[in-house]
Amino acid sequence: MARLDVTETFQGITFPGHLHTQESLHYATEFKFQDTDILIVTYPKSGTTWMQEIVTLVSCKGDPVKSQTQPNWARAPWIEQYYISDVLKASQGPRLLTTHLPYKLLSPALQGSKAKVIYVARNPKDVIVSYYYFHKMANFLKDPGPFSEFLSDFLEGTVYYGSWFDHVKGWTGNSRNIENFLYITYEEMWEDLRGSLEKVSLFLEYHLLENELNSAQKSCSFSTMRENCMVNYTLIPQEIMDHKKGKFMRKGQIGDWVNTFSKEQSHNFDVVYASKMADSALTFVWDTKKSHVDTEILPLCTT
C-alpha cells in the first residue's frame, strides 16, 4: 500500500492515506477492546515511540530482546492503521495498542472498557517542530512548506490528525470516563526516566526489581533507541522515509523549539494557546532548568 500522495478525510480530520483508509478508520471507531488491553494514546510527535518502548520493556521485566527484535508497529500497532487486523490475528497474549485518534472518535468504543489507557502529552511548541521536520523526511506526509505556514496550519488544526488542542483537552478532560487512565508528559519522562518507568510499572501492575528497572532504563534511553532499528524507522524503505533528509530520532530534547520559532511566532502561539486552553483545567510544566546528560551510545544494529 503506497498511496503516498493520498489524504483521507474522516469525520472532518485528515489522515495520511499511506497508512489509513476509510475502512481502517471506521474499524478503529468500532474497535473491540479487551479488558487486558493497554492503549497508548498520543497526538503525533509527543513521545509515542518512547512509551511503546517503555511499556514493552516494563511488560518484559526489563528484558530488551523483544524491543530489539520486533518493530514497534508490530508489537504496539496503531488501531486506526490499515494493517491492524492482520497484526492482531498474528499476535498472542495481552495486547499493546497505540492510537493518535482524538477522544471523540474513540470514546464510544472505549465505553465500559477496563483497558489501561496511557496518555502522553508534550510541549506543543516542541511537537510542532518535531512534526515539521518529520514532514520533511516522511514522503507520505505533505511537504510542509515554510515553518510559518506549517505553524498556522497547526494552530488552525488542519494538519494530519487534527487539532492538538482538541486532542489534549478531549482525552484529559474526559479521563474520569475512562476506568484506568494514566496521564504523563514527555517532559516528565525526560526529567525522570526512572521515576516514569516506576510510574508506568505501577499503573500496569508489573513489579520490577532494581536490576530489571536498570535494564529497562538503559534500553529506553534516547541514545539506545536512536541506534535500535526496531524503533528508529530505518527499516522503512527510503522512498517512504528519507533518512538522508532527517532522522526519526531527531534530537530528543525538551525546549528545542527555541531554535526554530521566532520571538514573534512564539508570542503569537502563546496568545492562541491561552485562548484555546482557557477552558482546560490542565496546567503544564514544560520548561526545565536541567541539562541533558544522556550521551551514551549503544549500537544495536547497523543500517
Q: Which of 13, 28, 31, 48 touches ligand PPS (CB under 6 A)?
A: 48
What are 98's strand-pairing partners?
40, 78
x/- contact string, 253-282, with ligand PPS (CB under 6 A)? ---x--------------------------
x/- contact string, 65-104, with ligand PPS (CB under 6 A)? ----------------------------------------
Select the span of 48-56, 89-97, 105-113, 271-279 touching ligand PPS (CB under 6 A).
48-56
Q: Which of 62, 102, 162, 252 touches ligand PPS (CB under 6 A)?
A: 252
Contacts of residue 256, defined as CB under 8 A and 6 or more positions apart, other chains included, come to: 126, 129
CB of 298 to ligand PPS, least distance (A): 12
Select the span of 18-26, 128-136, 171-179, 208-216 touching ligand PPS (CB under 6 A).
128-136
d(CA 181, CA 46): 17
Select the span of 103-111, 202-210, 243-251, 281-289 touching ligand PPS (CB under 6 A).
243-251
CB-nearer residue toward ligand PPS: 113 or 134: 134
User: In this structure, is the dihedral angle defined by the CA atoms of residues 214, 61, 229 and 119, taken in order, positive or negative?
Assistant: negative
CB of 275 to ligand PPS, least distance (A): 26
Catalytic position from the list 100, 167, 267, 292? 100
Select the span of 27-35, 43-51, 111-119, 273-281 touching ligand PPS (CB under 6 A).
43-51
Q: What is the dihedral of CA 250, 233, 245, 150, to 10 degrees?
A: -70
Buried b (16+ CB within 10 A) or exposed e, 74-85: ebbbbbbbbebe
CB of 263 to ligand PPS, least distance (A): 21
- Binding residues for ligand PPS, rule: CB under 6 A, are 42, 44-50, 126, 130, 133-134, 190, 220-222, 225, 249-252, 256
> Catalytic residues, which ones?
100
